[in-house]
Amino acid sequence: MQPAEPQEGPVRVETGQGSPVDAEVNALMRATARRAAWFFIGSIVFALTVGATLGAFLWLSLTLQTNLLGNLSVFHARSAHGYGQVFGFTALFVCGVAYHVLPRLSGRPWRASSLQRIALIGLVVGAGLGSVGTLIAAGGWVILLAHFALVVGAAAFAWSVRLQLRGSSVQPGLLSVYVQIGCWWLVAAAGLPVLVPALRDQAPPLVWEAALWGFAANWIYGMSLRILPASLGLVRLEGRGGPVVCTAHQLAVLLWCVGMAAGSGWLPSEVAWLSRPGALLLVIAALGFAYGVGFFRARATSAHPMPGTEKFLWTAYLWLAIALAFGPLTVAVTGAAFVGPVADFARHAFTLGFLTQMIFGVSMRVLPAAAGIPIWSERLRDYTYGLLNAGAFLRAGETVTAWGGSTAWYQWSALSGPVAWAAFLLFAVNLTMSVRQGSVKADRG
């Protein structure tokens, strides 16, 4: 089995000057980028309000044993934080990246603008209703409406991605498989409270786990097949192992979620044991993916198109290993329920260290490159990297204390929320200014 040559970065549709067809393609590409911008704007708004901002106040209240939430309960604040980060920030940002990048990967403009509008409205309304509804304890009917809107938005996104990739020559082929399956995992996660009334009065871990391991992990794995070889010089192996790993990951997420469902009480407790093989399979699939994409082999020499962003990608997969070790692997080995401080750290190692870091790193590489512009500030990019990883590292204090270690780390971990929030703010400023300078360049052109 021969190693494949490193893939190039995202394909840009190159057009000539003066051809009516080329002019039309250019216009459609610019329109696609403008529509994608609304998803980025919505994502940042959620992150800097009920997402990262509310999360920072919540963690400060818990670690400092003080009340910074006013009349809000910890339970309702945590639920609203989940809606803001998972369905607001993450889902909207992934949609924006998809609508901006997939036309360039597939080599053809995006024309399904009506589905894009439905996806945007559905996800914004759903994440907004979920966040506000849990904050004010409005009742199950508000959560039902929120998830109905989320299902509509997620389904519109999934179908638009299917239409875009159907018949296209996106390579490698598993990229298309991962991202399309990820879309339908988002639909499934959003639809659970619609189908199960018991899940409407709370924000159960089941919904977050389905969205994170099903939707987010699949999208990151899929895009990594294209991004990592070009960015890190990894040499990917071609062969039959890729589909096996992809299938194993889907089965792992399913078993993991079934176990969570039993723990939530709406499936028989006799099937709760399925979370252990699901957890172990999550770890095995992640190792198989890392091996197949080339993490454990010598790197190929390649000129990095935007040096400085590759550290986000290396560190993100390190945090994935940490999240797997403290989360699924711990569950698989000990049989303990996925609750408590260790589980909380594992989830934040995934969301902050892996997911958010991949979003930041890929965005600051791919979006400017696709628009033909440099990142606005390399210094802000590096500050963002430092702050994000410091925030994730500080969060580990709760695990050290839970395992009988020093409480000093836990006290310092109060800074985790504000430090991570500062990373979100710097990222938002840098990306906004990068897009703005690209718009000015296009207007002048």
**Least confident stretch, 226-230, 234-238, 399-403:** 234-238
For residue 262, what pLDDT is reported? 86
Least confident of 130-139, 273-282, 404-413: 404-413
Q: Is the pLDDT of residue 219 over 80?
A: yes
Kindly state whether residue 195 falls inside one of the protein's structural domains. yes
Region of 13 please: left (phi>0), alpha (psi -120 to 50) or beta: beta
CA 409 from chain centre, in angstroms, equals: 27
Name, in order, each residue with C-beta under 8 angstroms of 97's C-beta and a sequence gap of 6 or more: 36, 223, 359, 362, 363, 366, 367
pLDDT per residue over 59-87, tens digit each?
A: 999 888 888 888 888 888 999 999 999 99
Phi, psi dihedrals of residue 3, rounded to the nearest 5°: -70, 145
Sign of CA dihedral 15, 21, 26, 32: negative
Residues pairing with 237 in the sheet? 3
What is the largest distance, in Å, between two alpha-carbon atoms of the chain? 70
Q: Tell me what pLDDT residue 5 has.
A: 37
SS3 per residue for the chain: CCECCCCCCCCCCCCCCCCHHHHHHHHHHHHHHHHHHHHHHHHHHHHHHHHHHHHHHHHHHHHCCCCCCCCCCHHHHHHHHHHHHHHHHHHHHHHHHHHHHHHHHHCCCCCCHHHHHHHHHHHHHHHHHHHHHHHCCCCHHHHHHHHHHHHHHHHHHHHHHHHHHCCCCCCCHHHHHHHHHHHHHHHHHHHHHHHCHHHCCCCCHHHHHHHHHHHHHHHHHHHHHHHHHHHHCCCCECCCHHHHHHHHHHHHHHHHHHHHHHHHCCCCHHHHHHHHHHHHHHHHHHHHHHHHHCCCCCCCCCCCCCCCCHHHHHHHHHHHHHHHHHHHHHHHHHCCCCCHHHHHHHHHHHHHHHHHHHHHHHHHHHHHHHHCCCCCCHHHHHHHHHHHHHHHHHHCHHHHHHCCCCCHHHHHHHHHHHHHHHHHHHHHHHHHHHHHHHHHHHHHC
What is the Cα–Cα distance from 211 to 205, expressed in whole angstroms? 10
- Residue 9 covered by a domain: no
Identify whether 159 is part of a domain.
yes
**Quick one: pLDDT at residue 15?**
36
The confidence score (pLDDT) of residue 169 equals 66
pLDDT one-digit tens code per residue, 85-122: 999 999 999 999 998 888 877 777 776 678 999 999 99
Residues paired with residue 3 on neighbouring β-strands, in sequence order: 237
Cβ atoms 381, 361 nearer than 8 A = no
Q: How many domains does the chain have?
A: 1
Q: Which domain holds residue 238?
A: 20-444
| Reported pTM | 0.89
The enclosing domain of 250 has a CATH number of 1.20.210.10
Count of alpha carbons within 13 Å of 202, Cβ hemisphere only?
Answer: 10
| Tokens representing residue 60 in the block | 């400060």
Whether 384 maps to a domain, the answer reads yes
Residue 13: per-residue pLDDT: 36
Rounded-to-integer distance, Cα 186 and Cα 209, Å: 11
> Is 11 part of a structural domain of the chain?
no
Average pLDDT of every residue of the chain: 85
Token reading at 150: 């989320």
Comparison of pLDDT for 396 and 233, the residue scoring more: 396
Is 302's pLDDT higher than 70?
no
pLDDT of residue 326: 94
Amino acid identity, position 409: W
Highest mean pLDDT among 29-38, 276-285, 306-315: 276-285
49-63, pLDDT tens digit by residue? 999 999 999 999 988
- Return the minimum-mean-pLDDT range out of 242-251, 278-287, 308-317, 402-411: 402-411
CA distance 119 to 95: 8
Range in 189-203, 221-235, 251-265, 330-344 the model is least confident about? 189-203
Instruction: Judge whether 307 and 246 are in contact, CB under 8 Å.
Output: no
Packing angle, helices 378-395 and 416-444, rounded to 10: 160
What pLDDT, on a 0 to 100 scale, did the predictor assign at position 9? 38
Q: Virtual CA dihedral for 103, 109, 115, 117, nearest 10 degrees?
A: 90
> Which two three-digit tokens encode residue 133?
């509804």
| Residue 286: inside a domain | yes
Residue 4, in any domain of the structure = no
37 lies in a domain?
Answer: yes
